[in-house]
C-alpha cells in the first residue's frame, strides 16, 4: 500500500512513497519522541510485521509527518496512534540528521525533530499491535548496558541517539 511522506528531491520537498524513500535512502523529515518517568524511559518493541527493523526496541515513538503537518502535531498524533497516549506536554529538543542501514534493503536518511515528555505518572499504554509488540520502562544506565552488549536488539536510530545525542534526548542530562 502506497503511503506518501515528504522527501527532499533536488533540494525541493515533495511527496514520495515511503517505501521508495527508504529503498533509495533519500533524505526526509521525521519525528522521534522520548518519554521519561521516574528516572526511566519508555521503549517500544516494533511489531513483527514492520517492513524494516521488526522486533527491535526503539524509543517511545518514531514516525514521519504527513504533508504539511507540524512536527509537534505529528509527535502527538503518533503517540496516540501507536501507544494510546494523549495529553503529554512535548518539549522540542532540536533537530538531528542521521543516515543508517535499517535492513531489508532500506536506509533511513532522516532529519529528525526530537521531542521529550517528562511525566511524574506513567501514562496508561494502549499499544496498537500492528505497530508495537511490547513496551517497557528502563533506566538509562541499563539501556546503555543492553545496547553495548546486544546492539542488534535495538534500532539503529536508538543506538545513534544514545551514542551521539544523549544530552538532547534524555531530559535529566539536558535540563
- Which sequence positions are flagged as catalytic? 62, 110
- Angstrom CA distances, 160 to 46, 58, 94, 144, 170, stand at 17, 11, 15, 11, 13
Nearest by Cα to 122 from 142, 111, 107, 137? 137
Residues 85 and 125 sit within 8 Å (Cβ to Cβ): yes
Return the C-alpha cell found at 159.
543506538
HSE value, Cβ hemisphere, 13 Å, CA-based, for 97: 7
- The rounded distance, in Å, linking the Cα atoms of 130 and 69 is 23
The residues with which 154 forms a beta bridge, in sequence order, are 57
- Burial of 60 from C-beta contacts in 10 A (0-12 / 13-18 / 19+): buried
Strands 27-37 and 106-118: parallel
Amino acid at each position: 500500500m502506497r503511503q506518501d511522506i515528504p522527501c527532499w528531491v533536488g533540494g525541493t520537498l515533495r511527496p514520495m512513497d515511503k517505501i521508495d524513500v527508504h529503498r533509495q535512502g533519500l533524505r526526509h523529515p521525521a519525528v522521534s519522541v522520548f518519554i521519561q518517568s521516574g528516572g526511566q524511559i519508555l521503549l517500544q518493541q516494533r511489531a513483527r510485521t514492520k517492513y524494516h527493523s521488526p522486533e527491535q526496541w526503539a524509543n517511545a515513538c518514531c514516525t514521519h509527518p504527513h504533508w504539511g503537518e507540524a512536527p509537534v502535531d505529528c509527535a502527538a498524533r503518533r503517540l496516540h496512534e501507536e501507544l494510546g497516549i494523549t495529553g503529554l506536554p512535548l518539549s522540542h529538543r532540536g533537530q538531528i540528521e542521521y543516515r543508517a542501514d535499517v535492513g531489508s534493503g532500506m536506509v533511513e536518511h532522516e532529519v529528525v525533530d526530537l521531542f521529550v515528555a517528562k511525566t511524574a505518572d506513567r501514562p496508561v499504554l494502549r499499544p496498537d499491535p500492528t505497530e508495537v509488540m511490547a513496551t517497557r520502562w528502563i533506566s538509562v544506565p541499563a539501556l546503555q548496558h543492553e545496547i553495548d552488549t546486544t546492539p542488534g536488539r535495538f534500532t539503529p536510530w536508538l543506538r545513534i541517539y544514545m551514542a551521539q545525542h544523549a544530552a538532547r534526548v534524555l531530559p535529566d542530562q539536558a535540563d
